[in-house]
Every structure is written in C-alpha cells, then in structure tokens.
A and B are shown apart, each in its own frame.
Chain A
Amino acid sequence: AQSVTQPDIHITVSEGASLELRCNYSYGATPYLFWYVQSPGQGLQLLLKYFSGDTLVQGIKGFEAEFKRSQSSFNLRKPSVHWSDAAEYFCAATGGGNKLTFGTGTQLKVEL
C-alpha cells in the first residue's frame, strides 16, 4: 500500500539552529512529493514540491528539501530556524491522479 511516514512526532530546536524533518515514502514508482506547514488554528500552506529533475528543491520561507530515491526519502531542511517556524509540518505524496497521502505530521517547537 502507498504510504508516507514521518518518524518524528515532535522535534524541539533552538532558534538559529539548523533543522531537518524526515519523510519516507512507499510507492511503486517515484511519487510527486510535497511539504506543507500548518500554523496553529490555520489551514495548510505549501512549502515546496518535487516532481522531477534537480533533487534539491527550494521552497518558501527559506526551506529546502532533498529527494533521495535510494532511501525513499524527502527530508525538509532549514539552515537557521526562526521562532515563527514553530508549527506542524506534513509531508505528502501522490502517485497518480490527485489523491494526496499525508504523513502523520511533525510538531516543531522552537526554543528561544
């Protein structure tokens, strides 16, 4: 079955530190991959997406993600975290059509 796994439920980092959020997928072929962010009480906002080509994808708010086919991973990174980055982050994938499969999310806490 197609699935998206985010192994970390909660992550805490200090402001200014680097961040990496993990995402693994299980699909028959390379899916299209997305990272969304959800601030408290808000809907989801797209950070970045990967379809093909360059495996390092740049997104909004200084985020980037790297697609690694050999590891079935699409990890989200940011070199220096800001307090406003505290939110829940969702990895999602679609293998065909428009049905997105979401991971269970990673809650990011930023310590000042």
Chain B
Amino acid sequence: NAGVTQTPKFQVLKTGQSMTLQCAQDMNHNSMYWYRQDPGMGLRLIYYSASEGTTDKGEVPNGYNVSRLNKREFSLRLESAAPSQTSVYFCASSGSSGRRDEQFFGPGTRLTVL
C-alpha cells in the first residue's frame, strides 16, 4: 500500500515549456487535490476533484489544467511554464468530499522554472 505517489520528484523547466505532474493513490479514495507550497505562504489549493469525472478550481488555478484520468489518477498540467510557477507541488486524496475526511499527501514534486 503506497498511499499517494507523485512523479517526478524533481523537475527543471525553461519558461514556456510544458509538463504534466502525475499523481496516483491506491486507497480507493474518491477525492483528490493539487496544492502548491511556497515559502511563507503555506499550501494553496490549485484544483480538486471531488469524485471521478469532476474537477473544480481552487484558490490559485491560473496557468494550470487538471485531468481526473480515473479514480486512481489525477494529473496537473502546466501548458506554458512561468518562473512564478516555481514551487513544490503536492497531491492529496481523501475518502470523500466531506470535510471530516483526512487528506493524505504525497511526497511532493519540486519544480523550478528558469
């Protein structure tokens, strides 16, 4: 039982390049989330998926797109990377969209945009 896994762990991009961050969970969770973590700002929600087939914007969605490929996988895409997107990205999942449910976090992807 691996929990929440993310790939890659590290990535360096040039401005304007695109990439997709992958996330998978093996806990049969319905809800999945993408956050970014920046120094002094805590974690901020980018997008989330309350259930398979649905996605919604979070606090900072601009410059990102997401795909809920199936119940297990939730990917985050940067179409044209910008230096402001340099951050650590965390994927999380929870059993349902109810607020009682604990969110389980992956180990993160450290992205640098030059």
Contacts and interface: CB of A to CB of B under 8 A. Distances in A.
Contacts of B41: 104
Interface of B: 4, 31, 33, 40-45, 48, 50, 58-59, 90, 92, 94, 96-108
5 contacts: A4-B42, A43-B108, A94-B99, A98-B48, A99-B48
A90 B97 contact: no
Contacts, number: 61
A102 B50 CA distance: 19
Contacts of B33: 98
Contacts of A51: 100
Interface string A77-112: 000000000000010101111111011110000000
Interface residues of A, number: 26
Interface of A: 4, 9, 32, 34, 36, 41-46, 49, 51, 90, 92, 94-100, 102-105
B5 to A, nearest CB: 10
Contacts of B31: 98
A102 B42 contact: yes
A32 B42 contact: no
